[in-house]
A and B are shown apart, each in its own frame.
Chain A
Amino acid sequence: MRLLSCLLSCLLPSLATACPWCRPRVQAGIYTPAYSANLLLVLLPVAVLLALGVGVFYWDKLQLYFAPAHAVRSY
C-alpha cells in the first residue's frame, strides 16, 4: 500500500504536467461548437457496420417478423 501511494505520488504530477502549456489549447481545439457534429461523423461508419452486423445476426427473426401471416404459419 505504501509502495502504491509512493508510485502514485511520483507518477501523477508527471502526468498532469506532461504538456502544461498546450493542454488548454488542445481542450479548446476538441470541445468546439462542432464537437457533436464531429462525433457523429467519426462514429457514422462504425454505426453503419454495427447496424449491418446486428441485422444479419437477427436475419432469421427479422424474416419471420416481416413475412406475411400465411407464410409464418407454414413454418
Chain B
Amino acid sequence: MQSAPTSRLHRTPLVAAGILLGAGLGGFVDGIVLHQILQWHNMLSGQLPPDTLVRAKVNMYWDGLFHAAVWVLTVVGLAMLWAASGRPDVPHSGRTLLGGLLLGWGLFNVIEGVIDHELLGLHHVYEYTPNHLPADLGFLAFGLGLLLAGAALVRAERRH
C-alpha cells in the first residue's frame, strides 16, 4: 500500500477513534476502580445512598447501564479504528492514536465530572465526606491533565 502525500493526510479519523476508545476505557476505569473496587460512589448514589441492600442493588442496576453505555462507546471506537486503518490518507501513527486515547479519557472525566458531579449532582467522586468538592476537583484536574497531554501528543505528531 502506497502512503499518501503528507499534505493530504487526514489525522482526524484516527484521533476520533482514539477519543471514543479512550472515553470508553476511561469509563471502565471509573466504573471498575471507583464504583466497584474502592466503592467511593455509584451512578445514583448522590440521590439514592446505597445504605441498604435494596438501595445498593438499585444503584448496581444503574451502574450496569453505565457500563453497557461505555461498552458501546468502546465498540464504536474500535469500528472507527478499523475503518481508519484501511484508509490510505490516514497515517499509521501510534503517537496520534495514543494522543487520541488520552484526549478521550480526559474528555470523559471532564464531561462526566461537569454534568454528573457538578450540574446534576447524580453522585460525587467520594460520597463519604461532607465536603465533596476536593475529590470532584481532583477528578476534573486529572481529566484536564490528560486532555493537555493528549492534545500535546497529537500536535507534536502533526508537526513531525
Contacts and interface: CB of A to CB of B under 8 A. Distances in A.
B57 A42 contact: no
A6 B27 CA distance: 38
Q: Is the interface of B mostly helix, strand, loop or mixed?
A: helix
Contact of A60 (B10, B55, B65, B116): B10
Given A49-B107, A53-B16, A57-B13, A43 B65 contact: yes
Interface of B: 10, 12-13, 15-17, 19-20, 23, 27, 43-44, 48, 53-55, 57-58, 61-62, 65-66, 69-70, 72-73, 76-77, 80, 84, 104, 107-108, 111-112, 115-116, 120, 122
Contact of B57 (A26, A41, A48, A53): A26
Overall SS of chain A's interface: helix
B73 A59 contact: no
A57 B17 contact: yes
Interface string A48-67: 11101111110110000000
B111 A45 contact: yes
